Amino acid sequence: MKHSSANSPVDRPEILSRLRQRLRQLRAQQESLVWKLADGDPMIMGSFYQVMKTCTQPNCRCQRGEKHGPFAALSWSVHGKRRMVMVRAEDARTVEVKVAAYKRFVRGLRELDTLNSEADRLLGEIGELLREEYP
C-alpha cells in the first residue's frame, strides 16, 4: 500500500492507525514464532531416507537387480559437500523424528524472515506518512 502526498491530512490518522494495528499483529506473530522456535525439539540437520544396496558377492541376487534393504540413511551438506551415514535400525525412528524437527525449524526461520520483511515494509509506509517537510 503506497501512500503519496496526495493523501489528505484527514485520511492520514486512519491509515496510520490501520498500519500500526497490522504492525501490532505482526509483532505478536513474530514473538509467538520466535518462542516456538526457541522452545523447539532436539533436531538433526539433514535428510532421512531409505536406500537399497548391492553387496560384493558375485552370485548374490543383488547383482541381478534384487538389491538388499531398505536401510535407513541420513545425508547432509557441509561447505557444499554431501555427506551420508547409514543409520542403525534401532536409531531410525529417533533420527527420522529429529530430522523432521529440523525441517520444521528451518520452515519457521523462513516464515520469520517473511514476517520481518512485512514489518520493514509497514514501518517504511508509516515513516512515509509521518514525514513532514519544513517550509
Residue 53 lies in a domain: yes
Which residue in this structure is represented by grid cell 535407513? Answer: 72
Residue 74 lies in a domain: yes
pLDDT of residue 64: 87
* Mean pLDDT of the residues in the chain: 92
Residue 5 lies in a domain: no
Residue 2 lies in a domain: no
Average pLDDT for 44-66: 92
Which one, of 24, 41, 20, 21, lies nearest residue 32 by Cα?
24
Residue 48 lies in a domain: yes
Residue 51 lies in a domain: yes
Residue 71 lies in a domain: yes
Determine the structural domain holding residue 35 and report its residue range: 11-130
C-alpha neighbours within 13 Å on the C-beta side of residue 119: 15
Residue 3 lies in a domain: no
Number of domains within the chain: 1
Tell me the pLDDT band of 19, cut-offs 50, 70 and 90.
very high
